[in-house]
Structure 1
Amino acid sequence: MAGIKALISLSFGGAVGLMFLMLGCALPQYNQYWPLFVLFFYILSPIPYCIARRLVDDTDATSNACKELAIFLTTGIVVSAFGLPIVFARAALIYWGACALVLTGNTVIFATILGFFLVFGSNDDFSWQQW
């Protein structure tokens, strides 16, 4: 039952984050859809870590170069997702209010992705690997 509550709360967090992203795009005073390019970063961010978890044997207590590289690449993707709306706002493609809404949505979405890996990332009987 705890897994279902976690899944519902993570779904709610994802919906709230996407709502902020859509508000930054579709409100009548902003009306620019350039910030939707951050959706690519939402899709790309968990991929390096998922690949590293599949390739690495987790019995070793020391750090692993493959897992460290995956965390580094994920960090680069997340920083790029926060930088893109700022670059768009500086280039006057979007307004600063839309940038703030997109950055708020980024924070919520990436917190939701992190929460997903924290809740379903352990190797117990209810794991994300069964999805």
Structure 2
Amino acid sequence: MTFVILGCALPAYKVWWPLMVVLFYLLSPVPTLLARRYSETTGSPSSAYLELAIFVTMGFVVSSFALPIVLARSPESDPVIKVGACYLTLAGNVIVYLTIIGFFIAFDQEDSDYSMW
């Protein structure tokens, strides 16, 4: 999140449009969490709901990477955000999504100390 906020708040950039990717951060784990909850109640290890959830989650992830790129590559005379803000937002995306993947890996293992709650 620090990279995303830096991409918005640094005096060289002064545009808060890159902060829109936070919406994708919040929405990306929701389909997978809902599908896992549903697959646990039905007992089916692989279902169409889980596949659809993964597809929707990947849509959110791709959109969060595409949004800053599209904003930075708008008409060259007046781009919406500068290239530096785009790079900072992309770096923030990588870190946030690696953290979300780490969360799913850590709390999915049953023999881990983290899953005892």
Q: Same fold (TM over 0.5)?
A: yes
Correspondences of 1:59-70 after superposition (within 5 Å) = 59-60=43-44, 63-70=46-53
> What is the CA-CA distance between 1:27 and the residue it aligns to?
0.8
CA distance in structure 1 between the partners assigned to 2:114 and 2:67 by the alignment: 36
CA distance in structure 2 between the partners assigned to 1:98 and 1:47 by the alignment: 27
Indicate yes or no: 2:4 matched with 1:21: yes
Secondary structure (helix, strand or coil) at the match of 1:56 reads: helix
When normalised by structure 2's length, the TM-score is 0.87
Correspondences of 1:29-108 after superposition (within 5 Å) = 29-57=12-40, 59-60=43-44, 63-91=46-74, 92-108=79-95
When normalised by structure 1's length, the TM-score is 0.78
Q: Where does residue 115 of structure 2 map in the other structure?
A: 127
Q: Which one-letter code corresponds to 2:52 in the other structure?
A: L
> What is the CA-CA distance between 1:77 and the residue it aligns to?
0.4
What number of residue pairs does the alignment pair up? Answer: 111
Quick one: higher RCO (CA 8 Å, sep 6+), 1 or 2? 1
> What is the CA-CA distance between 1:105 and the residue it aligns to?
0.3
CA RMSD of aligned residues (A): 1.8
| Structure 2: tracts of 5 or more residues without a match | none
| Structure 1: tracts of 5 or more residues without a match | 1-17
CA contact (8 A) 2:72 2:80 kept: yes
Secondary structure (helix, strand or coil) at the match of 2:65 reads: helix
Paired residue for 2:103, among 116, 122, 125? Answer: 116
